[in-house]
Structure 1
Amino acid sequence: MDKKLELLAPAGSYESLKAAVNAGADAVYIGGMRFGARAYADNLDQAKMTDAIDYCHLHGRKLYMTVNTLLKQTELEELYDYLKPYYERGLDAVIVQDVGALSLIREYFPDLEIHASTQMTLTGPDGCRFLKDEGVKRVVTSREVSLKEIRGIKAAADIEIESFVHGALCYCYSGQCLMSSLIGGRSGNRGRCAQPCRLQYQFEGTDKKYFLSPKDICTLELIPEMADAGVYSFKIEGRMKRPEYTAGVVEIYRKYIDLYLNKGANDYKVQEKDRIQLMDLYNRGGFSQGYYKTRNGREMMSLDQPNHFGTPAAKVIQIQKGKAVFSALEDLNLNDTLMPPELKLDRAHIKNEKFTVSLKNVQGLRAGQTLRRVRNEALLKRLEEKYLRAELKEKINGKLMISKKFPAILELNAGTVSVRAEGSIAMEAKSQPLTEEKVRRQAEKTGDSPFTFGKLDIELEEGCFLPVQDLNALRREGMELLETELLKPYARHSAHKSDMHDEGRQGFVNDIIKSPDLMISLCSYEALDELLDIPEITGFYVDSLDEHILSKCRRAKKRCYYVMPRIFRQDTQDLFKTEGAAEKLEGYDGVLVSAFEEYGWLASMGYGQDMILDHNMYTFNSEARRFWREKGIFRDTAPAELNARELAQRGCAGSEILVYGRLPVMVSAQCLLKTNGRCLKQQGAKKVCRLTDRMGKTFPVSAECRYCYNIIYNSTPLVLLDYAGEIKKLHPGSIRLSFTIEDRQETVLTVKEYIKAFYYGQKAHNPFQDFTKGHFKRGVE
């Protein structure tokens, strides 16, 4: 086959990067010391990163750097200096989430490839086509999209596609998760996720289980179908995993991508031993194939254990006095670890062999119990020796000429690159002249260089003598010259840095101090009639295209904006088309946009009303606001993770600030009702249920059957009543009160208290005993 595919490996350290390259990865993605979505990995400093770029290039591979967090205003101003040395060294691409960072990178480093991170939650062609027009070369699709949707993206957007093939799944659409942030102040958008999804929860009175913990994915069988659908880059997840894991997974996927490329889909078959190797390295109760062929389901979840499950290794045959008798289900190695309970083997055992263990070492065993191997010592040692300890060498050819008349000459070539190094003139040998064997032995000692000789021709004049140190110096010089020449094509000169504070970047200054507009967001409408009579309310956000609601707002002379779905996949777009939503939306004052696909879809139809960005569109910095301003969007919602000082640095003139409401902490393609066998099986249904954590905190969960996703809301509402004066000093264009599960009385009471505080400077009464101030004071790291 002539179709080239890329195998893309994760690296959380320099050792992992070398392991990935040695095992056959075409490209590696890795983070530097800042702005990467794995803040707790062993990220590379500047010296190591430049070495890593060179290492990849010398071996014909690529390095992509993760700049895939949201950048605060002060950080954005440091981005140029941070990226400059890597850009100059030949960095192949950056992976980006923040549109402000995207905008500056495009301007400062115009020939640096930009890849749109999966954190951008890209699920359809409209969003991908929009980003392509903004200079993005590649999109990393959301893990939730199907093969059919990928095919549609490729056909309609014609953009390079990167998709995950192996490793952990987030429960939430990537980029839409605030759970770790709001519970513990560790933001997934800032690379510090505490993984609350891997903890136990109760759902509507069930036993505690890991309801938010998906199995890892393994897509070996799907490689031909993924390639046929349009996936170019096959991405392995796992920057927090050890180097042996990286090497072992790359080794297997390299084998099967090559199998597909060499023999096509008809002769493609996965061997069970390779699947078992992947299971041995890491799995959570087995694998799933992710969302490529399945919308969601219980079979994708690891409900009983959130960490490495291992593989069946030994069965307890009987319990005797003081010991347990096992039968080995597989060949077992010295120092293998079995669970549960933890048992470290003190010798090897062959399959079906019976062996005994003292019960002093292992408590709580029972006859018939199967222990799983969670550490395969032999596999880890093999991977370490083959890919971590061994040095990868590139074959080169050379010619060495030694003469008593001319300086010694070493010519080297690698592909189309050739170099020539000159050394000393040989002397007349007094006793032991050089032999070809001795010269070859010394010249082929390539040492720490990335090269090894495929062929070395030697022309040696008889009777010559040349000191060993001279031969070594000539070889070193030749190797260094070759390395320099091979890296030259990657080097760049830095682009001009614009001043972030020049006049062209301004436009958000507002010296007029006035009370912001008051916007009310509603998920139910039992309080609407009463709210329409409150004069201070400017307008409403509604998630219904019911003309009666719109006409009521019109009669009351209130603005009415439609809230677009949190996720806008192809089936949702098809539903909108069927219902004539585009025409209906023209009757509203505007829409609240939550996804790139929604902006792209509306813009493609020439939508004529206002578009307002919701807080999950993440305008973390003024450059992100400028990016959207150039698209004609002048209103955005301030991100929920910035504190008051950071909001002031970003600028809030014209923005909306959410001052009350239960923030959505997760939006998931999974469904807790379906996982628990309670699927409503109704496209238009909507039900609020409850999820309870280990601390007794209850999270409302809205099953949005119309769009087939769940929204998990925070256990307590955001209440910023006490900060009315401070918020008004930020000069927001509007403030928003968002109501989700509140009843009519709670809704009306809350609105009135906010009016007291924000519009009349009166002391307001907080109607909620349990509430959060969110990040308005604490912020996130």
Structure 2
Amino acid sequence: MNKVELLAPAGGYETMVGAFNAGADAIYLGGSKFGARAYADNFDRDQVLDAVSYAHLHGKKIYMTVNTLVKEREFGELYDFMLPYAEKNLDGVIVQDLGVMRFIRDEFPGIELHASTQQTVTGVYGARLLKELGCCRVVPARELSLEEMKAIREKADIEVEAFIHGAMCYCYSGACLFSSMVGTRSGNRGRCAQPCRLPYTSDVFSSKSKEEQYPLSLKDMCTIDMIPELIEAGIDSFKIEGRMKKPEYAAGVTALYRKYIDLYYAEPDKKHEVSKDDMEMLKSLYLRTGISSGYYHKHNGKEMVTISSPAYNGTKEEVLNKVKEQYLGKELKIKCDIFCKLKLSEKAELIMNVNRDGEFISKTVVGNEVQAASKRPMDEESAKKQLERLGNTPFEAESIEITIDDNNTGKGIFMPVSELNELRRKLCEEMEEELLRGYGKSASYNKNNTYGNNEPDDKRACEVGVSGKDTDVHVLVHTKAQLEALKDILVKIKYGDITEGRANTVSRVYLESDLLLNSDILAILKATAFSKVEVIAALPYVTREESFDGSCDISFMADGFDGTIDGLLVRNLEQLGLLKGKDYKKKVILDYGVYTWNAEAASLLSELKRSDESSFVSEIAVPYELTIHEASETVRKVKAQTGFPVSYNVYGHVPMMISAGCIKKTLDKCSGFFHENHHEKMLLTDRMGNKMPVTTNCRNCYNIIWNANPTALFNKMDDLYDKRLFDHFRIDLTVEDKETALDILRVGICSGDKEHRRSLMQRNQNRFTTGHYKRGVE
């Protein structure tokens, strides 16, 4: 049985050494760029290189986080950033951006690719897809149950790295835009401002919910008493959260998990209770008020939330001092045995043996010929005294065996102390080289940066545009009332009831897939108003395989409805992988959540093919967090390299959080419609008085927190048309009633009706936002 890897965080070099001293098998750290903890100390280039050498010398591993989304203009920096680490044989990178994943896979094939939890992998199909695209390890969403983790390991044949301790995000990682939309600090760029840790009030029916509470602040995870279960589930790597925490945290937490992991492997059939003292020590190391075992045995629950306060427990000075004394401020040492042979008239010989994880490594050095003593002979004690002097080396002698032989002359032997010291120094250097030599075999990378060298693509990117047709409009609806509003507008346009200005063609309607489970929706779609409109089913934001198998609904959408459905809007990698496995033949349109911040990401997606070798992906969407300048730059290159049609969102409440946690259940009680086609709406109010709509999806059991202010770019549409870059403009109707939907649709579809547009924008001047159109994220 391969032992599970214990993976600890390090925000700085001291933290790394302390965690290794405490028993970590590997460390994950961030470099000077592209890491999802921009405010941690992080490592500069030389520190990363030193860290890799240090780890490899001690039989450990270093994984670097390259786990932010990368803008098109930043991509040219990636090769030079990664090159020295590839040359040093960095063990792996943890990646969120699909473009970064493709780039490192192709340019640095010797470095392992680990899919970050920011990729929101929720099941077997997403994990299989990532393996197909080059990953050897996946960090699934923290929301998964232990059974779901186990299924990924068994069915996807990919390594699984799982969080076992530390802070928990309320939103599915990678799907959170909360910090980004209320400011400029994006969680996808490592700069989350943690609005989830702030107080809110709610209109949920409960007397307490009118008071300020912390319904989005999860307790910290602690699974030390679950170690046997986690190991037996087949998890390959246990990950401790905390790159922004102090060295005492990393070392102390690592030491305790190391203790109970080793106890399990020593006696797997014996139950090892976590001692009260050990649990108290964990609670003293920067844990929030209260702890939970996370989602491993529950889908959600108010017992997981720090409703009253998100504050950390106080830390005990004696605990910190104990950790410092045991693990910090000292270098990790390699245990060795040294043999010294000093025989008259033969060359002096030193041997060092190291047993590293069962691998026996030996190194021998030979010196000058041993002379007969003329005055004071060298004895074992004086020789041993010199050989013990290993203080500035990574070695520590467990035994030193010395053989002195003067061939029975009775004179003894002589060897200058300086020569013996030089032999010792040489032996240590050569053993270091031997221990590091194995890592040199895997170095593999392109010697020349190929990114940006494709001149035909660059030329096409400058020339690309939408030609031969006007940009049309797509509308997404969440409710029957919104669909009826769209039908009414289309009928009025058709029969000339709306004549002001130009009416754009509505060529597609997206229906939230739950809507299609209602039979009366199909009757509306058969109206003549929709006769020339594509119907696309928008899949759920989350697909899981728990007690309810969400993949069944996707299969139903893919195979049913007798031709009513023309394709699917795909919102995550799990859905993309599932449909790819089915060789789905209709349109596959990727929503903003399958991030294409750069052309490399689109190029990776273009590698996916159907059995007939046609492109599996049909279209992509511009992510919400790009400015119009960044979006234009990216779209030009995307079209040049892939030809994908691109849609651009001009209206909608941005989904800021998608969570397994349920605000209604936390502040009141569950609706009782578990896995039924049921939705509820509530409001969450922040300290500034902004009222954010919250909707439940009971069928797939998740919440969406929408931005309080919808993004509305109707005043920018003339400029957007002039760019001739975007194939489709998209209007997303989410929480709007029918009257509001009619108002929005009239302006969005009849863009030439400037008077109605002016009226709408004026009435909503304090409510509408332009989002990241100009502002962007850091």
Which category of TM-score, normalised to the shorter sequence, fits these structures? 0.7 to 0.9
| 1:621 pairs with 2:620 | no
Contact between 2:466 and 2:726, CA under 8 Å: does it hold in 1? no
Identify the residue that residue 734 of structure 1 maps to in structure 2. Answer: 728
TM-superposed deviation, 1:425: 6.1
Code of the aligned partner of 1:722: N
2:666 counterpart of 1:675: yes
CA contact (8 A) 2:115 2:137 kept: yes
Return the letter of the residue paired with 2:672.
K
- Give the 3 Å change call, closer, same or farther, for CA 434–100 of structure 1 in structure 2: same
Contact preservation (8 Å) 1:151, 1:229:
yes
Q: Does structure 2 conserve the Cα–Cα contact (< 8 Å) formed by 1:532 and 1:558?
A: no
- Whole-angstrom distance in 2 between the partners of 1:579 and 1:649: 38
The question of whether the paired residues in 2 share the 8 Å contact of 1:125 and 1:156 is answered with yes
Deviation of 1:170 (Å): 0.3
Equivalent residue for 1:556, pick from 531, 543, 561? 531
Partner of 1:697: 690
Specify whether residues 493 and 681 from structure 1 end up closer, same or farther in structure 2 by C-alpha distance, changes over 3 A only: closer
Secondary structure of the 2:736 match is coil
Q: CA deviation at 1:755?
A: 4.3
Number of residues paired by the alignment?
Answer: 716
The verdict on how the C-alpha distance between 1:538 and 1:759 changes in structure 2, with shifts beyond 3 A counting, is farther
After TM superposition, the structure 1 = structure 2 runs for residues 338-737 of structure 1, keeping only pairs within 5 Å, are 374-402=314-342, 408-415=348-355, 416-423=360-367, 432-460=376-404, 466-491=415-440, 492-496=443-447, 497-502=449-454, 510-513=464-467, 514-526=469-481, 527-533=485-491, 534=493, 536=504, 537-543=506-512, 544-545=515-516, 546-552=521-527, 555-570=530-545, 571-573=548-550, 575-576=552-553, 582-584=559-561, 587-631=564-608, 632=615, 633-651=617-635, 653=639, 654-682=645-673, 683-728=676-721, 729=723, 731-737=725-731
Deviations 1:646-704 (A, max 9, x none): 22221254211112111000001000000012321122221111001111111110111
How many angstroms does 1:13 deviate by?
A: 1.2
What is the CA RMSD across the aligned residues, in angstroms? 2.5
Inter-CA distance 761–481: structure 2 relative to 1 (3 Å threshold): farther
**Contact 1:756 1:762 (8 Å CA) reproduced:** no
Query: Distance between the aligned counterparts of 2:629 and 2:335, measured in 1?
Result: 56
Amino acid at match of 1:269: E
Compare relative contact order (CA 8 Å, sep 6+) and give the higher one, 1 or 2.
2
Query: Counting helix residues as a fraction of each chain, which structure ranks higher?
Result: 2
1:302 matched to 2:306? The reply is: yes
In structure 2, give the amino acid aligned to 1:613.
L
**1:361 matched to which residue of 2?**
none
TM-fit CA distance, 1:483: 0.8
Cα offsets for 1:273-331 (capped at 9, x unmatched):
2211111113222111111111111100001111213xxxxxxxxxxxxxxxxxxxxxx
Matched residues in 2 for 1:585 and 1:569: separation?
26
Aligned-partner residue type, residue 600 of structure 1: G
Shift in alpha-carbon separation, 1:739–1:413, aligned structure 2, 3 A: same
* Aligned residues of 2:197 and 2:217 also touching (Cα < 8 A): yes
2:206 maps to: none
Matched residue SS, 2:474: strand
Q: 2:326 and 2:291 mapped to 1: Cα distance?
A: 26
CA distance in structure 2 between the partners assigned to 1:760 and 1:198 by the alignment? 42
Which letter does structure 2 place at the counterpart of 1:671? Answer: C
Name the amino acid aligned to 1:414. V
Higher mean C-alpha deviation, range 152-161 or range 296-305 = 152-161
Distance 2:752 2:263 in 1: 66
State the Cα distance separating 1:516 from its structure 2 match.
Answer: 1.7
**AA partner of residue 680 (structure 1):** S
DSSP-derived class of the 2:37 partner = coil
Distance 1:6 1:590 in 2: 42
The answer on 1:774 being equivalent to 2:714 is no
Q: Secondary structure at the match of 2:527?
A: helix
Aligned residues of 1:648 and 1:730 also touching (Cα < 8 A): no
User: Retained in 2: the 8 A contact 1:171–1:213?
Assistant: yes
Q: Which residue of structure 2 lines up, in the alignment, with residue 243 of structure 1? A: 247
Indicate if the aligned counterparts of 1:628 and 1:634 stay in contact, CA closer than 8 A.
Answer: no
Question: Does the residue aligned with 2:68 lie in a helix, a strand or coil?
Answer: coil
Deviation sequence 1:172-210 (CA, Å, 0-9, x none):
000000011111211111111111111111111521011
Give the letter aligned to residue 380 of structure 1: L
Deviation at 1:393, TM superposition (A): 0.8
Amino acid at match of 1:583: G
Relative to structure 1, is the Cα distance of residues 99 and 553 closer, same or farther in structure 2, using a 3 angstrom cutoff?
farther
Q: What does residue 348 of structure 1 align with? A: none
Q: Secondary structure at the match of 1:269?
A: coil
Name the SS of the counterpart of 1:281 in structure 2: coil
CA positional deviation for 1:560 = 1.5
1:98-109 correspondence runs (5 A): 98-109=97-108
How far the C-alpha of 1:504 sits from its partner, in A, is: 8.5
Structure 1: where are the runs of 5+ without partners? 310-373
Give SS of 1:375's match.
coil
| Shift in Å, 1:520 | 1.1
In 1, the alpha carbon distance for the partners of 2:382 and 2:753 equals 92
Q: CA deviation at 1:50?
A: 1.1
The separation in 2 between residues aligned to 1:663 and 1:657, in whole angstroms, is 13
- Is contact 1:586-1:608 (8 Å) kept? no
**How far apart are residue 375 of structure 1 and its match?**
2.0
How many Å separate the matches in 1 of 2:60 and 2:401?
29
Checking the alignment, whether the CA contact within 8 Å between 1:224 and 1:265 is kept in structure 2 is no
Residues 756 and 764, structure 1, Cα contact 8 Å, conserved in 2: no
| Whole-angstrom CA distance in 1 between matches of 2:575 and 2:2 | 33
Structure-2 separation of matches of 1:294 and 1:704: 17
Matches of residues 10-409 of structure 1 in structure 2 within 5 Å? 10-204=9-203, 206-309=210-313, 374-402=314-342, 408-409=348-349
AA matched with 2:595: Y
Matched residues in 2 for 1:264 and 1:731: separation?
A: 61
In structure 2, distance between residues paired with 1:490 and 1:102: 22
Deviates more, 1:244-253 or 1:548-557: 548-557
Corresponding residue for 1:752?
Answer: 746
Letter in 1 for 2:507: T
Report if aligned partners of 1:126, 1:157 keep a CA contact under 8 Å in 2: yes
Q: CA deviation at 1:762?
A: 10
Q: Which amino acid aligns with 2:585?
A: G
Amino acid of the structure 2 residue aligned with 1:388: L
Aligned to 2:624, the other structure's residue is in SS state: coil
Taking structure 1 as reference, are residues 676 and 173 closer, same or farther at Cα in structure 2, changes over 3 Å only?
same
Deviation at 1:266, TM superposition (A): 4.4
Separation in structure 1 between the aligned mates of residue 524 and residue 328 of structure 2, nearest angstrom: 64
Query: Letter of the aligned partner of 2:659 in structure 1?
Result: S
